[in-house]
Structure 1
Amino acid sequence: MLDAKAPLVAVPSDVQSFNGAPWHASPQQYLTAALRVAGVVPLIVPALSDDFEVGSVLERVDGVLISGAVSNVHPSRYGVEPSARHEPFDTRRDALTDALMRGALAAGLPLLAICRGIQELNVLHGGTLATEIQELDGRMDHRSPEHPERDTRYAIRQDVLVEGESLKRILGSSNIRVNSLHRQAIDRLGDGLKVEASAPDGTIEAVSVPGARGFALGVQWHPEYFAETDQHSAAIFRAFGDACRVYRNNLAAAAE
């Protein structure tokens, strides 16, 4: 049980349809990893950012966690004609995460962007995405295997080379294995982003924002899934949680 002083973290919602009605929701795996490993309280923000000022949320939280999702970033955001190969889309989530990330980076709020999140972070910085990367020459198949058991689909099976010093400090290692499951990936790296890790086929698996005022990391894999049992997954969430506590404590000290 977290105490009343635990940092609050904004998590964008995805818009899904249930029983013919739109719902704003977030995958539980991210929320439990935030609570149990990062030691922060996640707050789901509705994807209705046209109707409220996102800054009013950012003023009340100590970090931003951008989760993965079933949907993909709409290609119009990075100058590509949309097609069925890019689907499915969630444009309301696109608008919300764009505002959350811009605001977080401007305010120095800790930012952790996972899976779809790293792709959104790249697009925010003017980068582009490639779809169906398993069809590109020399690329691995990064998609999850067909299997009825979710734990098997999300199993840690892919090698990653950690190149950036920021991520090396968090993980304590240059070579790790991850559960990277995706059919889209960073194509052109966004301006101002630094590659922190890559797959054996050259696919960018992690980036940082060197000019950011606070913690700002994006990973293509899914550390949330085994955050309670895998040391490298846990290290990412703990580092994010520690950054959120530092941010919260600094605000409290400045207010005294």
Structure 2
Amino acid sequence: MDDPHAPELTDEEENSAALTERRYREPEPPEFATSRGCQLLDEISLRILEIRLALLVATEDVSLRLDDFYPRLAALEVLADQAVGAARLLLLDADLDEAWGSLPSRPQAVFARHKAAVTRGSPSVFPVPSSLRHFNSAIRTIASQATGPDWRARPQCPAIIRDGSRQCSNGVLYLGDNAFASGCFSHATEAERNRHRQHQDDRNEANVEASRIAHLAMTGLGRIIAEGWLRRRHEPGSLFQLINQPDGPFRLEDMEEAGKAAPAD
């Protein structure tokens, strides 16, 4: 509250005080992303992927059960992928709805704010997918090529139910090779049911084969990553070497050199 005993300011003094406040008020930081920042986040997502792939081959040398890593790495991959996409939205100057606070937005919030802006009429911006997403798409492609379409959307069975009150609500059986049965499992012929069972067996075998091929592909990459890690581990300048040097990783002269090499804001 205003001090009732404070002297009243003249109009000139009030205008001068308001001008000073505007002039020295802390400016709000702009929301931005540099190309370098986007590349760095993309590399971070790839490092998380490298950990997942290297773990696939770590058990060849260590008799430990390491599957507890995978759900945590999967969660980190989602966060990293979102961070890459959000940074690329900022890099592309995508329209965003008003921020919900004074702190920088989380990646999910950037997507939500852009969606809100698009709802109000702004153009949609589609950032280039992250390298991590490209990798996961490639793995899914391996599976889809092996298993083929599953025809989840099937025509409705034309048969009438037993009491004659309505048409059967089930979908007809899919027989493979773009062919459908004359009815659902209950209303198809015995030959159609046998053909459907054979298609399901073939599909299950294809799923197993697709999983095997995908695992081989990822294991092969895991071995390449692991060999690269172990080779670079003993090279000068590696993190392992820096941490284990006699005077530790935080030498003043090295940090000063790193500071000089850092890009200017």
Report the TM-score when normalising by structure 2.
0.23
Structure number having the greater strand percentage = 1
Structure number having the greater helix percentage = 2
Q: Which has the higher contact order (CA 8 A, sep 6+)?
A: 1
Report the TM-score when normalising by structure 1.
0.24
Larger-Rg structure? 2
